[in-house]
């Protein structure tokens, strides 16, 4: 049966603008029989004038989710669940289980003495510690102890497992992975470790102690893998670095004091597909609006404030998570006149840059703020 095919017509020179006729509709049906189609019926849809994200701007409040995350401890064991995680489901991206764009995120809880089975996959991951003591992650035999606001990498292909020491307290952390992206590339493999656990083969925290010293690198250091050898990035030196930069720089009108986490060997992103940054909004600071390509998942590491995303205001507090979809206008404001606010951000910026797809634009001629919807 024939149906309308001219719904994407645009009356603009250079764009597809073909009116349906009985003859054309019959022709389209013929093509369909051979698994083919006329490009002009879909060209304007598949090549929009600018990026059209199917992700919605969303704020996930920690106070809404925390009790539900803790309840999962009574409902399933890590052994049965594999990973006991409540994932963040963007209403526009449910089909690929993404929090935004091609990035997956979830909140994972683990009790003292619990250990998740060791595994590896093609997806790369970070975990950002929100609460609790005694959490640790083992990556390819390197054990990293993890505290509040620290984050750890588990890069593509590395064996990894997460646990909480028996003398610790219940821990909750945010996972962030490129699962949807790797699935979109149809390149995802998953493997469970044959022993379900791996031996710790090196001194505890050795990779951060070896590679995480500002301005210094080991002379006999040898690292050529496509991800940072500094598996763990700690909160205290990060906050100190932001504070120091804030003391001698005006920062960016769009981002305040923004620093990227880097691979110390290359000065590039921590992993090939996922980038991480931390930004400080000084007391009372309100940034100007801009937009750029790439998907961004923010985690409030410290303080409170709000962001305006495509004209909608989202008020956030510590450990809330919110997303900025690709090409969405956004600006951030610190609600406090005396305390700084700090935002951790996970993004696919390394992919955007590597593929030559990164673009940004300031709002208004001379910078400014978006009108906020009531
Ligand atoms: Fe994993
Ligand atoms: Fe931005």
The DSSP code sequence of 246-265 is HTT---BTTTBEEEE---TT
The ligand that comes nearest to the alpha carbon of residue 361 is 2
Report the SS3 class of residue 284: coil
- The ligand minimizing its distance to the Cα of 188 is 1
Ligand 2 center to 113 CA (angstroms):
40
Scored b (16 or more CB within 10 A) or e, 180-189 reads bbbbeeeeee
pLDDT in tens, 325-345: 999 999 999 999 999 999 999
Number of the ligand closest to the Cα of 156? 1
Range 73-86 average pLDDT: 88
CA of 235 to the centre of ligand 2 (A): 22
Distance 122 CA to ligand 1 centre (A): 9
Residue 364 has pLDDT above 60, yes or no: yes
Q: Which tens digit of pLDDT belongs to each residue from 223-258?
A: 999 999 999 999 999 999 999 999 999 999 999 999
What are the boundaries of each domain within the chain?
2-46, 59-362
Note the ligand closest to the C-alpha atom of 360: 2
Q: Pick from 139, 142, 137: which is nearest to 159 by CA?
A: 139
Q: Which pLDDT does position 32 carry in this prediction?
A: 97
CA distance 83 to 175: 11
> Which ligand is closest to the CA of 127, given by its number?
1
Question: What CA–CA distance (Å, rounded) separates 31 from 101?
Answer: 32
In angstroms, the CA 260 to CA 276 distance is: 6
Residue 86 Cα, ligand 2 centroid: separation in angstroms? 27
Q: pLDDT category, 365, cuts 50, 70, 90?
A: confident
Is residue 190 within 8 A of residue 196, CB to CB? The reply is no
Cα(107) to centroid of ligand 1, in Å?
13
Distance 172 CA to ligand 2 centre (A): 27
What spacing in Å lies between the alpha carbon of 364 and ligand 2's midpoint?
Answer: 15
Which range of 78-82, 110-114, 339-343 scores highest in mean pLDDT? It is 339-343
Q: Measure the N-to-C terminal CA separation of the chain; round to a whole number of Å.
A: 45
> Which tokens go with 219?
């002379």
Distance 163 CA to ligand 1 centre (A): 12
Per-residue pLDDT band at 1 (split at 50, 70, 90): low
What pLDDT score was predicted for residue 80? 85
Segment among 51-65, 66-80, 194-208 with least mean pLDDT: 66-80
Distance 21 CA to ligand 1 centre (A): 53
- Calculate how far, in angstroms, residue 61's C-alpha sits from the geometric centre of ligand 2: 21
Q: What is the dihedral of CA 26, 31, 34, 39, to 10 degrees?
A: -160
Q: What's the mean pLDDT when you consider all of the chain?
A: 96
Any bridge partners for residue 332, and if so which? Answer: 307
* Lowest model confidence (mean pLDDT) among 15-29, 123-137, 184-198, 358-372: 358-372
pLDDT band at 81 (very low <50, low <70, confident <90, very high): confident
Architecture of domain 59-362: Sandwich (2.60)
The pLDDT score that the predictor gives to residue 79 is: 79
B/e letters for 145-157, b = 16+ CB within 10 Å, e = fewer, are: bbebbbbbbbbbb
- Measured from the alpha carbon of residue 294, the closest ligand is 2
Please tell me the predicted confidence (pLDDT) of residue 355.
97
Instruction: Report how far ligand 2's centroid is from the alpha carbon of 286 (Å).
Output: 13
């Amino acid at each position: 049966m024939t149906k309308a095919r001219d719904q994407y017509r645009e009356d603009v020179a250079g764009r597809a603008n073909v009116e349906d006729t009985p003859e054309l509709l019959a022709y389209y049906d013929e093509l369909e029989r051979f698994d083919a189609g006329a490009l002009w019926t879909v060209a304007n849809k598949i090549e929009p004038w600018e990026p059209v994200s199917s992700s919605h701007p969303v704020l996930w409040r920690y106070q809404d989710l925390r009790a539900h995350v803790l309840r999962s401890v009574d409902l399933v064991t890590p052994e049965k669940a594999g990973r006991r995680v409540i994932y963040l489901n963007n209403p526009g991206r449910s089909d690929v289980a993404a929090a935004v764009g091609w990035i997956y995120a979830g909140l994972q809880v683990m009790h003292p003495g619990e250990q998740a089975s060791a595994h590896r996959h093609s997806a790369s991951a970070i975990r950002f510690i929100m609460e609790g003591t005694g959490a640790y992650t083992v990556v390819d035999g390197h054990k990293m102890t993890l505290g509040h606001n620290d984050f750890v990498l588990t890069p593509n292909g590395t064996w990894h497992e997460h646990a909480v020491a028996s003398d610790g307290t219940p821990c909750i952390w945010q996972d962030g992975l490129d699962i949807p992206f790797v699935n979109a590339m149809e390149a995802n493999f998953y493997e469970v470790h044959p022993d379900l656990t791996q031996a710790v083969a090196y001194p505890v925290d050795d990779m951060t102690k070896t590679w995480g010293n500002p301005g210094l690198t080991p002379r006999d250091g040898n690292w050529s893998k496509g991800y940072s050898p500094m598996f763990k990035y700690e909160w205290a030196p990060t906050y100190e670095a932001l504070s120091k930069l804030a003391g001698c720089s005006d920062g960016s009108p769009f981002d305040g004091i923004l620093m990227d986490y880097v691979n110390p060997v290359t000065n590039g992103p921590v992993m090939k597909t996922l980038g991480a940054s931390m930004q400080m909004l000084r007391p009372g600071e309100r940034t100007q609006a801009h937009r750029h390509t790439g998907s961004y998942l923010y985690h409030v590491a410290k303080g409170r404030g709000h962001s305006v995303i495509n004209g909608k205001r989202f008020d956030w507090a510590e450990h809330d998570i919110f997303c900025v979809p690709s090409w969405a206008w956004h600006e951030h404001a610190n609600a406090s006149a005396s305390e700084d606010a700090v935002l951790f951000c996970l993004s696919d910026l390394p992919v955007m840059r590597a593929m030559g797809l990164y673009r940004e634009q300031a709002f208004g001629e001379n910078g400014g703020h978006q009108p906020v919807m009531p």
